[in-house]
Amino acid sequence: KAGVTQTPRYLIKTRGQQVTLSCSPISGHRSVSWYQQTPGQGLQFLFEYFSETQRNKGNFPGRFSGRQFSNSRSEMNVSTLELGDSALYLCASSLEGGIGREAFFGQGTRLTVV
């Protein structure tokens, strides 16, 4: 069974641009969560979607947004990119968030803002 797929794997953008990252969960998984990993802050929770609804949101500015489609694929968008947005963006999926539900992580998208 295919794992969590994130596209693209690598991305270079210019400050001020916007970017959209995609996450395709494992088939049948309805919960998708997003994380940002930077050398200084480590892994931080961005948001979680379940059945097309945002269920939880981390402490990030409104420039970071996301959505989930009816097939559970999720996208996150970052507008007006800043140099500090350079990071590895990871998504994870599970059948549903909950006790006993194991999460599976993707390979990540490495975003570089220049």
Partner 1 sequence: KNEVEQSPQNLTAQEGEFITINCSYSVGISALHWLQQHPGGGIVSLFMLSSGKKKHGRLIATINIQEKHSSLHITASHPRDSAVYICAVRLGTGNQFYFGTGTSLTVIP
Return the beta strands (E) in 8-108 as ranges: 10-13, 19-24, 31-38, 42-50, 53-57, 64-68, 74-78, 87-94, 104-105
> Could you tell me the smallest distance in angstroms from the CB atom of residue 81 to partner 1?
19
Report the C-alpha dihedral over residues 77, 83, 87, 89, rounded to 10 degrees. 0
Q: How many residues does the chain have?
A: 114
Min dist. Cβ of residue 70 to partner 1 (A): 18
Between residues 27 and 80, which has the closer beta carbon with respect to partner 1? 27
Residue numbers at the binding site for partner 1 (CB under 8 A)? 31-33, 35, 37, 42-45, 48, 50, 55-56, 58, 88, 90, 92, 94, 96-108, 110
Taking the least distance from each CB to partner 1, the nearer of 48 and 81 is 48
In the block, which residue shows the tokens 């007006």?
A: 80
Q: How far is the CB of 37 from partner 1 (least distance, A)?
A: 8
